[in-house]
Structures are given as C-alpha cells and as structure tokens.
C-alpha cells in the first residue's frame, strides 16, 4: 500500500510539474515574437510525456489545468485559444486514435476531421468571442478561408508526423534521463 501511494504521489507531482511548465510557457507566449504560434505547440508536446507514462486520462487532466490557467491569466488570449482548440488535447486524442483505429487511412480521416472542426470553431471563437477582427486572418490583404484551411490541413499532417518523431526521440533518449533524476 505504501509503495502504491508513493507511486501515485510521484505521478501527481510529475503531471503537475509538466502542467506548470506548459502553463508558464503559455503565459510568456505574448513576450516572445513567435510565441503565439510556438507556445501552444510546444506546450502540447510537453503533455505527450504524460500520455506515454500515465495515459491519456492524466494528460487530459493536465490539459484542463493548463487550459484554464492560460485562459484566466494570459494577457494574450490568441495562444490560449490555439492551445485549448487543438494543440493541448490533440496528443492525448492521437494516442487514443492510434490505439482504437488500426486502419491508417481511416485514422487520418478522423484526425483531419478533428483538426477541421477545431480550426473552424477556433476561427469563430476568435472572431465572435475574442473580437479579433477578420483582417487578422489575412495575409497582405488576401483573405480566403478555404485556402487557409487547406494549408492548415497540410501543416497539421506535418505536425502529426512530427509528434511521431518526438515520441520516438522521447522514448529512446529523454525518458531514461528524465526519470533517472527523480529516482
């Protein structure tokens, strides 16, 4: 019983530490020039270690903590919206999809449906709730939502492939180093 309690305590501390690092990264996103795009992605990638070590349920709990803290405390709500709309929960959802849907093509279709739903909902949340003007989503005066969604799909597929590379790198190189510190 004592060993199990120690293990649970370590799990809670590890997940809290990753959530704190992710939240801190999200809070300084407005200071870093490329932070509004990079911070949500990196914060989501940090949650992958929780998915690998303790499962998607713990990762979703950490995502919830980071999402609420970021939405409440951040001065720039746009990175918080990116994190909550997709990049925060996607690593956990990806793990579930990889486990449940064995056919690669079907799995990619489901992933793209999730991305497109998140992109459209994120756009409407940004323009309607956060009152970000639609001109902010144009490049040099060019505004074509379908083209941006198509480019977003291509970038999302690259992001999905990058997660696979990151997971391999974490398991082969970083996992032992991280947990050696704590043992």
**pLDDT tens for each residue of 2-37:** 555 557 888 999 999 999 999 999 999 878 878 888
Distance, in Å, from the CA atom of 137 to the CA atom of 133, rounded to the nearest integer, reads 8
Distance, in Å, from the CA atom of 114 to the CA atom of 108, rounded to the nearest integer, reads 10
Distance, in Å, from the CA atom of 182 to the CA atom of 14, rounded to the nearest integer, reads 9
| Cα atoms in the 13 Å half-sphere on the side-chain side of 127 | 12
pTM of the model: 0.84
Distance, in Å, from the CA atom of 80 to the CA atom of 144, rounded to the nearest integer, reads 24
The torsion of the CA quartet 10, 61, 48, 183, rounded to 10 degrees, works out to 0
Quick one: residue 141, left, alpha or beta (phi over 0 = left, psi -120 to 50 = alpha)? left
pLDDT category of residue 126 using cuts at 50, 70 and 90: confident
In the chain, what are the domains?
A: 2-182 (1.10.1760)
Residue that the structure tokens 């793209």 belong to: 112
Whether the Cβ atoms of residue 145 and residue 116 lie closer than 8 Å to each other: no
**pLDDT tens for each residue of 29-82:** 878 878 888 999 999 999 999 999 999 999 999 999 999 999 999 888 888 888
**pLDDT tens for each residue of 76-112:** 888 888 899 899 999 999 999 999 999 999 999 999 9
Query: 139: which strand partners?
Result: 142
Distance, in Å, from the CA atom of 32 to the CA atom of 116, rounded to the nearest integer, reads 27
| Cα atoms in the 13 Å half-sphere on the side-chain side of 140 | 0
User: How many other β-carbons are positioned within 10 Å of the β-carbon of residue 131?
Assistant: 8
Q: How many residues does the chain have?
A: 183
Query: 142: which strand partners?
Result: 139
Tokens coding 44: 């989501």
């Amino acid at each position: 019983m004592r060993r199990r309690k120690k293990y649970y305590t370590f799990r809670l501390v590890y997940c809290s530490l990753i959530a704190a690092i992710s939240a801190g990264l999200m809070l300084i996103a407005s200071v870093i020039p490329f932070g509004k795009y990079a911070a949500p992605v990196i914060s989501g990638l940090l949650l992958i270690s929780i998915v690998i070590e303790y499962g998607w349920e713990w990762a979703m709990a950490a995502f919830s903590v980071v999402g609420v803290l970021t939405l409440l405390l951040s001065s720039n709500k746009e990175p918080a919206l990116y994190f909550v709309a997709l990049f925060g929960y996607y690593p956990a959802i990806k793990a579930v999809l990889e486990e449940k849907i064995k056919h690669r093509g079907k799995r990619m279709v489901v992933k793209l449906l999730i991305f497109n739903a998140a992109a459209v909902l994120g756009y409407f949340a940004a323009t309607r709730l956060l009152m970000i003007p639609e001109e902010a989503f144009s490049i040099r005066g060019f505004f074509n939502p379908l083209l941006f969604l198509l480019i977003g799909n291509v970038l999302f597929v690259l992001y999905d492939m990058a997660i696979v590379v990151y997971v391999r790198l974490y398991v082969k190189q970083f996992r032992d180093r991280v947990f050696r510190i704590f043992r």
